[in-house]
Amino acid sequence: MFFVLNYYENLLFFLFLANIKPLHMRKLLFFAAAIFLITDLSAQDYSDVKFGKIDKEDFNKKVYSIDSNASAVILFDKAYTYFEGNSKGWFSYVTKRHKRVHILNKNGYDAANHEVYLYSGDGDEEELQGLKAVTYNLENGKIVQTKLDSKSVFKDKLDKNLEVKKFTMPNVKEGSIIEYTYTKRSDFLTNLDAWAFQGQYPELYTEYELQLPLFFNYVFISQGYLKLSKTEKRSSGIFTVNVGSNLRNDFQQINSEISSTKWFARNVPALKAENFTSTLSNHIAKIEFQLSEYRDPLAYRQIMQTWPQLTKGLLESESFGDQLDKANGWMNDDIKDVTLGITGDAAKARKIYEFVRDNFTCTDHSALYMDKPLKNVLKDKKGSVAELNLLLTGMLKNAGLTADPVILSTKSHGFINSLYPIRSKFNYVICRVILDGQPVYLDASYGDLGFGKLYPNCYNGQARVVNADATAVNLFSDQLMESKLTSVFIVNGDDGNLVGSFKQTPGYYESNSIREKVQEKGKDEFFRDIQKSYTIPLEIKDDGIDSLKKYDQPVQMHYDFTIEENGDDIIYFNPMLGEAYKENPFKSAQRLYPVEMPYAMDETYLLHLDIPTGYVLDELPKSTKVLYDEKGNSFFEYILSESNGSISMRARIRLTRSFYAPEEYEYLREFFNLVVKKQSEQIVFKKKA
């Protein structure tokens, strides 16, 4: 049994060593202290409390110091897991949970809902037992109890192996205290249920204890930024296993030392969603448990696979790679038609990719396995992301190209820990084809993705090529640079109005967003929305968008416009003309987990502006340039100048990284505060005397 930091914590640590200068050390120490400081030393001790022991005084608190804005507070959430021998000749684990919540107002009613996930397979199923749930209300000075009716527990089948049991606490009101306890029994030892020490509501006390016989070795995988307290102790135990048949009992006893580890924390703040977050599940404080091996006195057996073992199993699976290396003559006619007259591997690969992308519909963008044979996918012209990209891989291989599937976890699904090959951590399949000795990654599940392009959701750290070598592939958002160029030219018209032209080449992913909007609304409505977005009287004409169907390229948007002369003595004109950052995307004063932008960015805005006829320049914003890093690769510049009756401007934001550790948040926030402030400044023109 051993305890490890997860991949993400290691990454933060190395970023710390590489980037934190001595000047920042005091800030970092203060940051750590701010996170881990116990905020309510007078909080009640919930580490040892009995079910149903509620006092009138428990209802008195309307506000908790841990979070004065909280709509519900978890008073405690405790569980412990132990192992026991079963009647099936093996072992089960049992988890007992006890939770109590104080609901302060209507916004906290969600805390009265609970779900328990139960797995089944190979004739076994997890069981929910001993559920007790009570809502307490203080009415006329007396505590009134409302018990959960067993008929109010509902079951939903999520898939062939997973169901969820749901219940909502009865008679919940503002000020209610709810409490429930249950036991979950499982024969599936490969991975125990993870325990989260943090969630959407603040927690006064949270605790998890694992009582582990040492003939099972589990890897403990920790994540998050919360400092946990821990106690450990050893004891001895006897496990009785029935190894007999249905007709005769035969009990065997196994002596083993038991390691008991308890993790706990007090006054845990809620983890709140912020802008630029992959998924909160990546940052929530939790511990996962993965079975690694059986040990003495059991017969030794390695359970956790190596990466080559995992990919070998996938390649041999009928639901994944079994069909890829077969003759697959049923696809020959389609490949022949698609590649007719095409020479060269790159051109052939592109044609096959475009065939799948343009003629098939993706029914599920989160899938690791196939639900039907590839032959049926080709016939139906639809399938999950796994089915479409495995079909693409098979067609490329059939055409004589070197291609393999690649498995990954999307950002919304969570990080992969590169140390531990766990299939359930993956939810997405793409294709890798080798062209001119270089890997090209393909995803045919989206109709607007160009050849060799992946959406940012796929850039989530390490992926694995499913081949004999189980090659690791690093896909990080820092590898994506979204470049945008906007050019605006405004001159005086013959009628006293200002006339201009607007040209913009958005970044690749913004271009795809524009393609979606145009497809949904039509081009005319798209440009009407642009015209409505301006805060000045402006009329758009001669508009157009180029490269809408050229999915390998960004689009190019252009239009002419007229700004009517208003005759005011003073004109205030924002030179960014609608392209400014109107508000800071980083609003919170503090952030406990990293900023994860979808890509690095480089946005350039160029302006030529004639001083309006009959006016003189009265005030011009000052030029500035701010470096984000010492090397000058990331910066914000805002440069204006006036010459011969015209104003020239260049505004540029360039950030070469997408990932920013928590200790960088304050500076990043101030950086964008400056951007918003500067881009809101006005040029002032005054009418000639």
Domain coordinates in residue numbering, the chain: 2-302, 307-475, 481-687
**Sign of the four-CA dihedral 548, 553, 554, 555:** negative
pLDDT attached to residue 166? 96
pLDDT at 653 over 80: yes
Least confident interval from 94-103, 321-330, 363-372, 395-404: 321-330
Please give the pLDDT value at position 16.
35
The 10s digit of each residue's pLDDT in 435-474 is 999 999 999 999 999 999 999 999 999 999 999 999 999 9
What is the reported pLDDT for 567?
81
Let me know how many helices (H) and strands (E) the chain has, helices first. Answer: 10, 37
**Percent of the chain beyond pLDDT 70?**
93
Report the run of H or E that residue 641 belongs to, with start and end. strand 635-643
Kindly state the average pLDDT of the residues 477-483.
96
249 versus 471: the higher-pLDDT residue is: 471
% pLDDT > 90, the chain: 80
| Number of Cβ atoms within 10 Å of the Cβ of 275 | 13
Alpha-carbon gap, residue 336 to 650, rounded angstroms: 52
The pLDDT of residue 247 is: 65
Rounded CA Rg of the chain = 31
Please give the Cα distance from 277 to 274 (Å, whole number): 6
Residue 262 has what pLDDT?
Answer: 97
Q: 250-298 pLDDT, tens per residue?
A: 888 999 999 999 999 999 999 988 999 999 889 999 999 999 999 999 9
Weakest mean pLDDT among 312-316, 516-520, 589-593: 589-593
Instruction: Write down the pLDDT at residue 281.
Output: 87
Class of domain 2-302: mainly beta
Q: Same CATH fold, 481-687 and 2-302?
A: no
| Distance of alpha carbon 465 from alpha carbon 311, whole angstroms | 8
* Predicted pLDDT at 29: 34
Three-state helix/strand/coil letters over 343-387: CCHHHHHHHHHHHHHHHCEECCCCCCCCCCCHHHHHHHCEECHHH
Q: Name the one residue in this structure whose structure tokens are 């039509």.
A: 522
**β partners of residue 290:** 191, 219
Look at residue 308 in the predicted model and tell me its pLDDT. 95
d(CA 482, CA 580): 17
pLDDT, tens digit (0-9, with 9 covering 90-100), for 379-432: 999 999 999 999 999 999 999 999 999 999 999 999 999 999 999 999 999 999
193 DSSP 8-state letter: E
Residue 44, pLDDT score = 63
- The helix (H) or strand (E) run that includes residue 606 is strand 600-610
pLDDT digits (tens, 9 = 90+) for 48-103: 789 999 999 999 999 999 999 999 999 999 999 999 999 888 999 999 999 999 99
Amino acid 48: pLDDT: 78
If you average pLDDT over residues 90-119, what whole number do you get?
A: 96
The CA distance from 630 to 23, in Å, is 14
Per-residue confidence band for 246, with pLDDT thresholds at 50, 70 and 90? low
Mean pLDDT value across residues 591-601: 94
pLDDT of residue 12: 39
β-strand partners of 651:
605, 638
Does residue 338 surpass a pLDDT of 70? yes
So what's the pLDDT on residue 2? 36
What's the rounded Cα separation, in Å, for the pair 458 and 318? 25
Contact status, residue 387 vs residue 377, Cβ threshold 8 Å: yes
CATH 3.90.76.10, applies to 307-475: no
Domain 481-687 architecture: Sandwich (2.60)
Tokens of 133: 């749930």
**pLDDT interval class at 323 (50, 70, 90):** confident
Question: Residue range 593-600: average pLDDT?
Answer: 95
Helices 508-521, 523-533: axis angle to 10 degrees equals 110
